[in-house]
Structures are given as C-alpha cells and as structure tokens.
Amino acid sequence: EKGNYRHFMQKEIFEQPTVVGQTLGSYLRQSDGTVALPQFDFDLSSVKRITIVACGTSFYAGMVAKYWFEQFARVPVDIDVASEFRYRDPVLEDGGLALFISQSGETADTLAALRHCKEAGQTIAVVVNVPTSSMAREADLLLPTHAGPEIGVASTKAFTCQLAVLAALAANMAVKKGHMDRAEEQEVVRHLFEAPACLNAALGHDEDIEAMAPLIAPARDVLYLGRGPDYPLALEGALKLKEISYIHAEGYASGEMKHGPIALIDEDVPVIVLAPSGPLFEKTVSNMEEVRARGGQIVLISDAEGLAAAGEGCLATIEMPSVHPLIAPLVYAVPVQLLAYHVACVKGTDVDQPRNLAKSVTVE
C-alpha cells in the first residue's frame, strides 16, 4: 500500500497536491471563479461570531483560519483547544457558529465540545476527513476534506486539506456578508487553485531537506518562528518534529522571541524561520537577526526573493516557490513536514507509529 514510499507519512506528504486539488475542486468552481459550499439550511450572512474548537494539528489549521475569517469575512473568532474549551464555561451567544476541525471525527474532547455547543444552541459546522464519523453525523453543516485515509499517526495531508476547506468557507462567508465582491472572490479562487502546483514545487525540494536533516538531528532543542498565518505553521512544525523525532521543539510568534525564549539561544539550538516574502517579511527577518546576533543557527525557509535578501550566513536555507500570502500556509506546511520526516529517518525512529501516540484519541 505504501507503493514506492518508505513510510505512510512520506506517501501522504507527497499526495498533498492531488488531495488538496480534489478538496478544492469540490468547493470551488473554476468555470466562473466562485466558491460553492455543499447545500445546507443555514444563512452564513447571519453569523456574528465563530467559535473554533479542535486538538493538535487540526487546532493549528483553525488558528490559520482565524486570520482568514477575520480578514475576509470580518467576523470575530474565538479559538481554543477542545480540552480547555470544555471546562471553561465559554460564553456562547445566540447566532454563533461553532466550528470543529478533526481528521478522524472521533477525538473525544472535540466531540464533547461539539455536543456542549449544540446544547447551547450554536450552529454546528464540522470540517472532517472521515465522512462516517460521529462528528460528521452530528453536524448541521458538514464540510468534508477529501484527503483519503490518513494512516501515518502524524497528520499531514489532512491538515492542508483542512486549510483548503477553511479558506473556501471564509471566502464564502465574506461574499455572503458583503465583504467580498465578485472580482475579489474570483481572485481568491484563482489563488487557491494555484495551491496544488505550488505544493508540487515545494515537494521538489525534498532532496535538499533530506540533505540538511543531519544538521538538525543531533539537536536537543529546536525553535520554530513565524508571524501572522505562518505562526501556526511554526507551532505545527514544532509539533511534527517532537512527535516523530522526539526532539524537543517549540513554535513561537517571531515577535515573542525577545520576551523570553531568546534566552535559550546558543549555537546548539537551531532556529527554523518561516518567512515568505510579503508584508511581514521585514519584521520576521529583524527577529531572525536578533537570534543570529546571539549565535543562533538559522534555517531560513523562504522564496527566492526572501533568500536573496536574508539567506546569507544561515546554517541552511530551504527555497519555496513564490506564492500568494493566502496559500503560503498550505505551501509552507510541506517543508516543516519533510524536515520532521527526514530528521526522524536520520534518527531511526518509528515514523508511522511514534511511541506513546494513537491515531485517534478517543479518551479524554
């Protein structure tokens, strides 16, 4: 079943252009450049607040989506991990949309949060990869990802497909609320349809990442930095590395470095910087310079323009295609997945079945 791949995780990383394309194809119409959600009996224009609840990697997809819902649809978003949300007596106003994101559709804490929101009268939207799952059955608005079965315990293709669906949902809500006109909608659809080719281009750097993995494998600690929608990607990169290589890793918002974590920096702590060129690039690079000034070893992940501007003096660089900011979180998922994967291979850990982890967490 793994075909020519060594691990399911590797196979699933490489499936992303295809499955993201399939997922986009079911939410976007290329012919007229519009977003078309599945039929449901609910008026998205009436949503006053969105509450996003998920766990782990799915939670990070939700964090990216918060930027999109706020930027495009101008709807305030609350987001929490399910295990915290359930126990903090959240305020849920009438007319709220509660959005749950889950690969399996069975994660116990997320499912319990869903039931809590349902009882509190929220409309329940679910982004889920298993269409027969409990969450899918209990949703008012079911938004399937079409990633296909994900076998590797570390989530990869489900994440990028979740992002694809969430971008479509945010754009559709923006249209319904009158914050996005036809031309802007077409523009968003066009950029989203660029994602599969850009994912392919990112995968084209697999060998470069494999070649630099031995530089990271001996580290005891690794930091990941990003800003804006790339901040959740830093968190996701750190989670992937911890899960499968057992190296301690943390993701930080670049601007938070000087508020504490910079004290950790020395030449033994690699710092992975996610910085596509664009409006936040300069800010991230100045945070990167702060790290470098303290002897930090930087791995810069950026496009050709970004690497030309700031790649000098880095421990390593990973080149990404130049992409529109909307799809950067999908594309930059690839290098962080591949880096974790290759570091784990260097260390010889069990990539598909990491210790202490289960694919579906059905206990609270």
Catalytic residues: 359
**β-strand 34-35 against 316-320: which pairing, if any?**
unpaired
State the nearest-atom distance from the C-beta of 289 to ligand F6R, in Å: 31
- The DSSP line for 154-190 is S--HHHHHHHHHHHHHHHHHHHHTTSS-HHHHHHHHH
Backbone angles phi and psi of 202, in degrees to 5: -65, -40
Report the residue number, 67 or 159, with the smaller CB distance to ligand F6R: 159
Segment (H or E) for 273: strand 270-274
Name which of 90 and 152 has its Cβ closer to ligand F6R: 152
What's the maximum distance between 2 C-alpha atoms anywhere in the chain?
57
Residue 160 touches ligand F6R, criterion: CB under 6 A: no
Which CB sits closer to ligand F6R, 150 or 319? 150
Q: How far is the CB of 159 from ligand F6R (least distance, A)?
A: 8
Question: How many residues form the binding site for ligand F6R (CB under 6 A)?
Answer: 15
The residue behind tokens 């399910």 is 82
Strands 123-128 and 141-144: parallel
Q: Is the dihedral of CA 273, 274, 277, 283 positive or negative?
A: negative
Print the binding letters for residues 90-109 with ligand F6R: x by CB under 6 A, - otherwise. Answer: ------------xxx--x--
Instruction: Write each residue from 334 to 363 as x if it is in contact with ligand F6R (CB under 6 A), else as -, in one continuous string.
Output: --------------------------xx--
Q: Between 183 and 363, whose beta carbon lies closer to ligand F6R?
A: 363
- 139-158 residues near ligand F6R, rule: CB under 6 A: 154-155
Judged on CB neighbours under 10 Å (0-12, 13-18, 19+), 148 is middle
Residues near 134 by Cβ (< 8 Å), separated by ≥ 6?
Answer: 105, 106, 111
Residue facing ligand F6R at closest CB distance: 56
Closer residue to ligand F6R, CB minimum distance, 39 or 355: 355
26-85 residues near ligand F6R, rule: CB under 6 A: 55-58
| CA proximity to 255, closest of 233, 284, 223 | 284
Burial state string for 163-183 with b = 16 or more CB within 10 A and e = fewer than 16: bbbbbbbbbbbbbbbeebeee
Run of H or E including 78: strand 77-81
Give residue 90's identity as a one-letter amino acid code.
P
Q: Which is nearer to ligand F6R, 326 or 336 (CB)?
A: 336
* Residue from the set 12, 230, 243, 352 that interacts with ligand F6R by CB under 6 A: 243
Q: What does the binding site for ligand F6R look like in residue numbers (CB under 6 A)?
A: 55-58, 102-104, 107, 110, 154-155, 239, 243, 360-361
